[in-house]
Amino acid sequence: MILDECQNMSFDQLLASDIAVDDVRKGFVVKKLQTQLMEGSNEYKESEEFEIAVPPGSVLLFPSEGSVDVEAVNFEVKNLIVLDGTWAKAKRMYNENPWLRFLPHIRLDVDKLSLYSEVRHQPRAGYLSTIESIVYAMKSIGEDSDGLDGLLDVFESMIGDQRRCKDERLSKASEK
């Protein structure tokens, strides 16, 4: 990247810059820095909270404005980045990490009911659990179905265990 040209740009200006976007597609590193007031002083200390290498071919599975259906992706996806949490938490994570906007965004256009809907409220069809979203996205980009189906089998087993525990609690509560 032409560092001098991009160094003083705001994040939104970087997103609009062809130079920055082209370089980002080659991969980039994200560092989260923490600034803290030093104890007993008016001076601030900056420390690195974390560093993440985002390699080329990375995409974000997130249904944002401008996202593309996973079936329409016309390049090789090498890394699938997923925000794991409730919809509200995932949206907050997205907003708190503006570097995610540099990534190509893909979404799932599905009307499936989540396997998890028996245990956790699903706002509407297509709102899937993180693991279901990962499995369906990876299948769409050409990953091995057998191994991915095994993940859903384990997930269904976990849901069955949760359902049994819930039924047992309800049964014990009604006996009182």
Instruction: Indicate if the pLDDT at residue 110 is higher than 50.
Output: yes
Which residue did the predictor score with more confidence, 160 or 25? 160
- pLDDT value at residue 9: 64
- pLDDT value at residue 89: 94
Domain ranges of the chain: 1-54, 57-176
Tell me, what DSSP letter sits at residue 113? P
H-state helical runs in 17-144 = 18-24, 87-96, 130-140
Residues 10, 11, 13, 16: what is their CA dihedral angle, to the nearest 10 degrees?
170
Report the chain's terminal Cα–Cα distance, integer Å: 69
Tens of pLDDT, residue by residue over 61-82, are 999 888 999 998 888 899 999 9
Reported confidence tier of residue 91, pLDDT bands at 50, 70, 90: very high
The two tokens of residue 39 are 């104890």
Instruction: Indicate if the pLDDT at residue 119 is higher than 70.
Output: yes
Q: Alpha-carbon distance 64 to 102, whole Å?
A: 12
Instruction: Indicate if the pLDDT at residue 2 is higher than 50.
Output: no
Q: Alpha-carbon distance 93 to 111, whole Å?
A: 25
Instruction: Indicate if the pLDDT at residue 168 is higher than 80.
Output: yes
Q: Are strands 44-54 and 28-37 parallel, antiparallel or unpaired?
A: antiparallel
- pLDDT value at residue 84: 95
Reported confidence tier of residue 15, pLDDT bands at 50, 70, 90: low
* Radius of gyration for the chain, computed over Cα atoms and rounded to the nearest angstrom: 21
97 C-beta neighbours (distance < 10 Å), count: 14
Instruction: Indicate if the pLDDT at residue 26 is higher than 50.
Output: yes
Average pLDDT, integer, range 45-68: 91
CA dihedral sign, ordered 31, 37, 39, 40: positive
